[in-house]
Amino acid sequence: MAARRQEPQQGVSTVSYTIGTGNTTVAAAAGDTVDQDVTVAGTSPAPTKLDEAKTLLDELRTVLKDHAEELEDSAQCDAAVAMIGQQLDSGRPQQSLLGVFLSGLLAAIGGATDVIAIAEKLRDAIQALFP
């Protein structure tokens, strides 16, 4: 996270402090703008919804390997996970395709409850990508 502190400029009557990311702009006396970026060391941006979905997908890959013998169709699970990963990595995931892949994944999991729990978390995280 970047913090910005805006010092009063000559001719500017207000001082504001902003915590967040991006540029904060204040109007200067002559109508120019003044941008001041201050990066606070040791901070990192909060994970995005996409990052959270990718993390859950990685977790699902691990759980699928650990519970392969319990799956209805492990090959279909692997294929669905690969296609979901491609969509998430594309930069512009398509909601309709992800829905199809998730449906196929859940069907292929069968009754493996530990795997279903992670898959449902992934489904929820993916749905959160699309307001």
Determine if the pTM surpasses 0.75. no
Give residue 95's domain range.
Answer: 49-127
Quick check: is 44 in a domain?
no
Confidence of residue 116 (pLDDT cuts 50, 70, 90): very high
Q: Which residues are registered as beta bridge partners of 25? A: 35
- CB within 8 Å of 30: residues ≥ 6 apart: 11
* Residues 73 and 123 reside in one and the same domain: yes
CB 47 within 8 A of CB 71: no
| % of the chain with per-residue pLDDT over 90 | 63
* Residues 63 and 18 reside in one and the same domain: no
pLDDT in tens, 46-55: 789 999 999 9
Q: Is 126 exposed, middle or buried (0-12, 13-18, 19+ CB in 10 A)?
A: buried
